[in-house]
Amino acid sequence: MREIGDVILDLRGISLSFGGVKALTDISFDVREHEVRAIIGPNGAGKSSMLNVINGVYRPQQGEVILRGDHFKRMDPYRAAKAGIARTFQSLALFKGMSVIDNIMTGRNLKMKANLFQQAVWWGMAAREELAHRAKVEEIIDFLEIQHIRKTPVGRLPYGLQKRVDLGRALAMEPQILLLDEPMAGMNVEEKQDMSRFILDVNDQFGTTIVLIEHDMGVVMDLSDRVVVLDYGRKIGDGSPDEVRTNPEVIKAYLGASH
Amino acid sequence: MAFFLETLIGGLMAGMLYSLVALGFVLIYKASGVFNFAQGALVLFAALAMARFSEWLPGWTGIDSPILANIGAFVLAGLVMFAVAWIIERLVLRHLVNQEGATLLMVTLGIAYLLEGIGQGFFGNDIYKIDVGMPKEPVMVLENMFEGGILINKEDFIAALIAALLVGALTLFFQKTATGRALRAVADDHQAAQSIGIPLNRIWVIIWLVAGLVALVAGIIWGSKLGVQFSLATVALRALPVVILGGLTSVPGAIVGGLIIGVGEKLSEVYLGPYVGGGIEIWFAYMLALVFLLFRPQGLFGEKIIDRV
Amino acid sequence: MKTRKLMMAAALAALLSVPAIAAEQFFPVLVYRTGAYAPNGTPWANGYVDYLKLVNAKGGINGVKITFEECEFGYATDRGVECYERLKGKSGGATLVQPLSTGVTFALTEKASVDKIPLITAGYGRSESANGAVFTWNFPLLGTYWVGADVAIQHIAKKEGGFDKLKGKKIALVYHDSPYGKEPIPLLQERAKMHGFDVMLLPVAHPGVEQKATWLQIRQNKPDYVLLWGWGVMNSTSLKEAQATGYPRDKMYGIWWAGAEPDVKDVGEGAKGYNAMTLQHGAEPNAKVVKDTLAMVHAKGQGTGPKEEVGSVLYMRGVLSAMLGVEGVRKAQERYGKGKTMTGEQVRWGLENLNLDQKTLDGMGFAGVMRPVQTSCLDHMGSSWVRVHTWDGAKWNFSSDWYQADDKVIRPMVMLASGKYAEEKKLKPRTPEECKQ
Amino acid sequence: MIYRENGQFKTSYAADQQIFPIAQDRWAVLAIVAFAFVGIPFLVDEYLFRAILIPFLILALAALGVNLLVGYCGQITLGAGAFMAVGAYAAYNFLIRIDGMPMLAAILLGGFVAAVVGIVFGIPSLRVRGLYLAMATLAAQFFWDWAFLRISWFTNNAPSGSVSVSNLELLGWSIDAPIEKYLFCLGLLALFALLAKNMTRSAMGRQWMAIRDMDVAAEVIGIRPMFAKLSAFAVSSFYLGVAGALWGFVHLGSWEPAAFSIDRSFQLLFMVIIGGMGSIMGSFFGAAFIVVLPIFLNQFLPWLGGLVGLHISTAGVSHAEFMIFGALIVFFLIVEPHGIARLWSTGKEKLRLWPFPH
């Protein structure tokens, strides 16, 4: 079973700005192996930007990302992916023109080695690889209970299912760290329960470290081991769900935001 | 030195003429997100209408004065362009709201074919003349400064002036009139504009009409320079690098882009061309635009593209 | 019921058999009446078709009616090839083809020899195809671009007072950037070597509406003469730019494709003094053939184009081109049977043995329009007579005597270039003996 | 009832990964290909071969190339003609400059040169996209138009700039007659279409489509945009280059740069859009549509006019052709922006359920 281990990902003094607008200011926190780490905060607090810094979509002006002891001034998405960081997206970023199977198969991309010519003639290694990875993808499809839609282009799926496919694509990478950007936004209660179950199962069965952004406080408090709170790009709280819940600055930020 | 200045001035004036065509692209793209490949065909169509009406009008009405005939033809051609704008909105754009950019671009290619077919079929496919009294002979200036002076092409000079005036007028139209403000609102955000009660369909007719009128002016100037015939549609290809360089959404961009491209291609052809056999100006203009793009992917004055995830 | 069927069958048979009785000769007509080059292509096509109609009105070729079908290709090579393929087998087979496009000529040169269809390219096409030993199916009748360029230099030399005066002179060639425009370059370079003048090459990209930089260079380098090798809108644009940069128009000489009404019409006064080589003829409103056409074709409401255009330069080019083809058929009939339909191969013999002397030409209504043409198996050009005409602001007037291209200059070039072609294509040139067959 | 997949159960992923998973499709396509190889040669006259079938095959190959780039990888190109030209002229130079160079090898080498050039002109795609990228490809178009006219080495110093190739030969088989040319092009097209299909259904194709649909997400799951885009440019240009070489060698025999002008580029883009972006089948539909339509109109309109006693002049036909062509494009895009291929699959979908509506 899962047992929270050492620090696997450490963020130190991250500052990020677009033009003159500061998105993140001097933020530091760490993520331990096998834990579920949540990032919360009001709208515009910089949560998504934080994830984008972790997997290299945005490049911070200051600070560094330390992944398993390797220091990165700037991550890039390809290196992040190679290092085992996968993510899902807040606004859906699936490949709309492709079927569910193909979407999830793209997640196996880094593990496929056949070159273009082998693929073009569909012979030897290329054909074997397609088969092997297809089997793996079918496992994920079974796990997420989306067998019935495997051939459907994702553009035609309802929102909740698309979110599942998004998760499936990330899982296909067999990540060590999984970044989830509001996996339950816009879902009804039943769908949220399903999704929570999947997240916990992933964490449990595969021991995947999870970094999660979520708005639904109930969900966050249930799922996560530790929580970081951001407000206007600054860190205002960090600790166990209970500690965060009682942090006066956090309360102020949330009350302020709700007014 | 004198020759360099001459080339430079020639380039600037050619650039203004490109701007005139580029302006049509920018207007439509700004307001409807359509990259209008039919702009060249619009120029041809408008010029054909102008040329033929000014030829036919004296016969129809007995007007003798060429000035009156020209004015009448201008009005008639303007009406034709209005009809074109209205039909395009009615039959085409209305059915393609929220389609992808590539689809819209293809549609305008279809419209271009249609306009070229109708224009040639209805107005004829010979070479026609637009005579609005543009001076054809050159003048020499600064003769006491340089030996032989600097040659200025009077026709180009007047054309450049008209282009500048037109840009000024359009800017005023956008800034000062209610319609102009509505157009700007639509350009910024379709849905928001619609939600405050701006009728999108009417705006599109207006913007295509304005683009049609710009095409008419461009058609008259180019037509008076080159004669009105099929190749007029190809001036659009010369204006493309201008639009790209200046940014698809910027009116000043179309002007500055035009000047840069005009000067760039003339200087390159005159000073670089002889070493490589000449005829380089077309691709040089595109390469120039491309080099700018590599540094500013959205063009000089275009809105910055930010990826959001 | 039965009788009715029988009657219908009989009627049908009668209908079908009529064309079989009266022999017909099929002329495919490749034209471009639309697109960038339509203003020039249209009058040529009208003249071509009008002449075929005139021949029919006069009773056909020894009683053989001419049938024809137009195919529009818009000056695009692949469409032209498609037209050729479509028409070559129609109505008993094409007699001959005249594509009026250098690009199509290049593409058809090999196909035509396989299909055994003569290719007449009066005043265009490959210059080396004058060598009938190698180019057995090509007929650049009346003149090639090398002829045009050669005469242009001769004329300039004459104006300057002799070939020795050309030394140190500068002659610019403003040309359409295509095989057509490039054709004269080798000859000009050859002549430049002979007489010590400089050639300045200024290409203009299709379709030729952007020439500002070209004329700036001309203004900078001040060439003594400008040769214009344009087609379509490029020509009038050149003249307008010349006017706008103040280059004297009377120092400009166009090839015969840059010396017609559409080229100068909308420049008007601005083109005054501009000269062009002629392919023998100019604008010929007073020629008898023109009057015949007006009386026997247009007056009956069968004119192809507007009446005003009849007799204009490109219209006449079409008439001459059609006439040469018709005369080829007529000649072939002399050998293979009068009143019969000729095959492409027989027509080739006719075209190789054309002998139109002045009397024959005058009799056909071409008095004052053209000079004799005599071809042979080895010489597919037949004549190289050229005059110069000049635009006076309203019409074209002849302004020189007749010239003939210098065979001493052109012949070796033709032999060299056609020899290279034969080698590339692994062709064995025909020998004079083979020609006698 | 005929076209149903009931009872066809797949017992392995391999069976499910076939190009045509439904048996009827498989047989139909096999039958069509067999007919194209064996049937058509006996049924068709020279005109159809030369004027329609051969151009169709070659342009379908080119459209396939454009579709890989535009339809699968989402990179708009308006310079497809330039890469055809590069392929044609490169193949020409290989053929005449190297003694004993086999024709097929020259054509394929032409394709490879085009691929390299494609990579170079694809580099801007790493930074600019959409319409701006389309303009960058126009730069390629105009540059190569110019280069093949001006740099005489490319044309073996032919004074006119026009080059020609003859005596085509493949392993001792001399390709002269239209039927031989047809079979040669058909063979190449069938082979390359199969290769294209394989690429698009394997990892490479998924990378391209991922970049097309959502490039940021693609990057995040470890797809390198540079590799994906440039490989699409390379493969697309290879196809275009081979098609260009065939166009020059087999169809025209002798050509000048105008054969690969910007009009050709537009034509190819039309084929892809009308046929269906992101569909191999669509490339064939589009090519057929664009090749046949003008010729059809050209013959049909005068006939139609004749029926109602109207003589339509050649120019009139041509103008009508412009109008109808334009109108059809507009109509198609409004009714089915995803092209004929989508209409086709919708039709199949309906047929599958027929005669029961659900």
Q: Do B309 and A89 touch (CB under 8 A)?
A: yes
Examine the pLDDT at B260 and tell me if it is beyond 80.
yes
Chain C nearest-CA residue for D259: C77
* Residue range C326-351, pLDDT digits in tens: 999 999 999 999 999 999 999 999 99
* Residue range A121-170, pLDDT digits in tens: 887 788 888 889 999 999 999 999 898 998 888 988 988 889 999 999 99
**Mind telling me how many Å the CA of B24 is from chain D's nearest CA?**
16
Predicted TM-score (pTM) of this structure: 0.91
Q: Quick one: DSSP state of residue C226?
A: E
Strands A85-87 and A177-181: parallel
Contacts with B306 from chain A: Cβ below 8 Å:
18
Q: Which of A87, A90, A58 is nearest to A72 (CA)?
A: A58
Reported as a pLDDT band with limits 50, 70 and 90, residue C205 is: confident
Chain B nearest-CA residue for C203: B279
Report the distance separating Cα B61 and Cα A76, nearest Å.
Answer: 73
Q: Do C244 and B7 touch (CB under 8 A)?
A: no
Mean pLDDT, chain A, rounded, equals 88
Looking at residue C7, what is its pLDDT? 53
Whether residue C27 contacts residue C96, with contact meaning beta carbons closer than 8 Å, is answered with: yes
- The CATH number corresponding to C145-282+388-408 among 3.40.630.10, 3.90.1720.10, 3.40.50.2300, 3.30.1330.10 equals 3.40.50.2300
Report the distance separating Cα D212 and Cα D192, nearest Å.
Answer: 22
In a domain, D105, yes or no: yes
Q: What is the helix (H) or strand (E) element at residue D198, kind and residue range?
A: helix D178-200
Report the distance separating Cα C128 and Cα C144, nearest Å.
Answer: 8
- The CATH number corresponding to A1-84+175-259 among 3.20.20.140, 3.40.50.300, 3.30.70.3270, 3.40.50.2000 equals 3.40.50.300
Chain D nearest-CA residue for A134: D13
In a domain, D179, yes or no: yes
Mean pLDDT, chain C, rounded, equals 90
Q: Which of B102-106, C59-63, D272-276 has the lowest mean pLDDT?
A: B102-106
Q: Which residue has the higher pLDDT, C267 or D191?
A: D191
Q: Do D221 and A96 touch (CB under 8 A)?
A: no
Query: CB distance from D146 to chain B under 8 Å?
Result: yes
**Mind telling me how many Å the CA of D90 is from chain A's nearest CA?**
22
Give mean pLDDT, residues C387-405: 94
Give mean pLDDT, residues B84-95: 90
Mean pLDDT, chain B, rounded, equals 86
What's the residue count for chain A?
259
Examine the pLDDT at D8 and tell me if it is beyond 80.
no
Q: Quick one: DSSP state of residue C249?
A: G
Residue pointed to by tokens 């139909």? D28
* Residue range D148-164, pLDDT digits in tens: 988 889 988 877 778 88
Please report the DSSP string for B170-208 in residue order. Answer: HHHHHHHSHHHHHHHHHHH-HHHHHHTT--HHHHHHHHH
Examine the pLDDT at C15 and tell me if it is beyond 60.
no
Q: Do A80 and D220 touch (CB under 8 A)?
A: yes
Whether residue B123 contacts residue B48, with contact meaning beta carbons closer than 8 Å, is answered with: yes
The yes-or-no reply on A/C contact (3 CB pairs or more, < 8 Å) is no
Report the distance separating Cα C346 and Cα C331, nearest Å.
Answer: 9
Report the distance separating Cα B302 and Cα B249, nearest Å.
Answer: 6
Give mean pLDDT, residues D351-356: 68
For the record, the structure tokens of C34 come out as 């639309």
Can you give the residue ranges of every domain in chain C? 22-144+284-384+416-436, 145-282+388-408
Whether residue B208 contacts residue B263, with contact meaning beta carbons closer than 8 Å, is answered with: no
* Chains touching D by CB (3 or more pairs below 8 Å): A, B, C
Whether residue A171 contacts residue A107, with contact meaning beta carbons closer than 8 Å, is answered with: yes
Report the distance separating Cα A138 and Cα D116, nearest Å.
Answer: 38
Report the distance separating Cα B252 and Cα C125, nearest Å.
Answer: 48
Looking at residue C263, what is its pLDDT? 92
Mean pLDDT, chain D, rounded, equals 87
Give mean pLDDT, residues A31-46: 88
Whether residue D37 contacts residue D43, with contact meaning beta carbons closer than 8 Å, is answered with: no
Whether residue C151 contacts residue C405, with contact meaning beta carbons closer than 8 Å, is answered with: yes
For the record, the structure tokens of C361 come out as 């030409």
Q: Do D143 and B121 touch (CB under 8 A)?
A: no
**Mind telling me how many Å the CA of D352 is from chain B's nearest CA?**
29
Give mean pLDDT, residues B178-203: 80
Helices (H), chain A: 47-54, 77-82, 100-106, 116-121, 125-143, 159-171, 189-201, 217-223, 241-246, 248-258
ipTM: 0.89
Report the distance separating Cα C4 and Cα C398, nearest Å.
Answer: 67
Q: Quick one: DSSP state of residue A33?
A: T
The CATH superfamily holding the domain C22-144+284-384+416-436 is Response regulator (3.40.50.2300)
Reported as a pLDDT band with limits 50, 70 and 90, residue A258 is: very low
In a domain, D223, yes or no: yes
Q: Do A93 and B309 touch (CB under 8 A)?
A: yes
**Mind telling me how many Å the CA of D120 is from chain B's nearest CA?**
13
For the record, the structure tokens of B94 come out as 């209305």
Secondary structure E strands in C82-126? 119-120
Query: CB distance from A200 to chain D under 8 Å?
Result: no
CATH number for D118: 1.10.3470
Examine the pLDDT at B306 and tell me if it is beyond 60.
no
Mutation choice for A interface testing from B306, B307, B308, B309 by most A CBs within 10 A: B309
Whether residue D160 contacts residue C178, with contact meaning beta carbons closer than 8 Å, is answered with: no
* Chains touching A by CB (3 or more pairs below 8 Å): B, D
* Residue range B191-244, pLDDT digits in tens: 777 788 878 888 888 889 999 999 999 999 988 888 888 888 888 888 889 988
**Mind telling me how many Å the CA of C223 is from chain B's nearest CA?**
15
Please report the DSSP string for D125-187 in residue order. Answer: GGT--HHHHHHHHHHHHHHHHHHHHH-GGGGTT-TTS-EE----EETTEE--SHHHHHHHHHH
SS3 C101: coil
How many CB contacts within 8 angstroms connect chain A with chain B?
Answer: 10
**Mind telling me how many Å the CA of B307 is from chain A's nearest CA?**
9
For the record, the structure tokens of C124 come out as 């265009």
Q: Do B116 and D151 touch (CB under 8 A)?
A: no
Please report the DSSP string for D37-103 in residue order. Answer: IIIHHHH--HHIIIIIIHHHHHHHHHHHHHIIIIIIT----S-HHHHHHHHHHHHHHHHHHSTT--H
**Mind telling me how many Å the CA of D4 is from chain C's nearest CA?**
42
User: Which stretch, B93-107, B201-215, D180-194, has highest mean pLDDT?
Assistant: D180-194
Mutation choice for D interface testing from A55, A79, A103, A119 by most D CBs within 10 A: A119
**Mind telling me how many Å the CA of D337 is from chain B's nearest CA?**
7
Looking at residue B190, what is its pLDDT? 73
Number of continuous H segments (helices) and E segments (strands) in chain A: 10, 10
Mutation choice for B interface testing from C266, C272, C308 by most B CBs within 10 A: C266
In a domain, D318, yes or no: yes
Secondary structure E strands in C327-378? 355-356, 373-374
Residue D338 is which amino acid? H
Q: Which domains does chain B have, with CATH numbers?
A: 2-295 (1.10.3470)
Q: Do C86 and D47 touch (CB under 8 A)?
A: yes
Contacts with D334 from chain B: Cβ below 8 Å:
92, 95-96, 107
Q: Please report how many Cα atoms fall inside a 13 Å half-sphere around the Cα of residue C284, on the Cβ side.
A: 27
Q: Do D199 and A106 touch (CB under 8 A)?
A: no
Query: CB distance from A170 to chain D under 8 Å?
Result: yes
Residue D170: phi and psi, rounded to 5, are -130, 110
Chain A nearest-CA residue for D231: A116
Reported as a pLDDT band with limits 50, 70 and 90, residue C76 is: confident
Examine the pLDDT at C18 and tell me if it is beyond 50.
no
Looking at residue C250, what is its pLDDT? 94
Q: What residues are paired with A231 via a beta bridge?
A: A234
Mutation choice for B interface testing from C209, C215, C234 by most B CBs within 10 A: C209
Nearest to D209 among A55, A98, A131 (CB): A98
Cβ-in-10-Å burial (0-12, 13-18, 19+) of C245 comes to buried
* Residue range A185-216, pLDDT digits in tens: 888 888 888 889 999 999 988 889 999 998 88
Chain B nearest-CA residue for A47: B309
The yes-or-no reply on B/D contact (3 CB pairs or more, < 8 Å) is yes
Question: CB atoms < 10 A from the CB of D48, how many?
Answer: 16
Looking at residue D28, what is its pLDDT? 85
Report the distance separating Cα C91 and Cα C94, nearest Å.
Answer: 8
Residue B296: phi and psi, rounded to 5, are -130, 90
Looking at residue C432, what is its pLDDT? 78
Give mean pLDDT, residues C4-24: 55
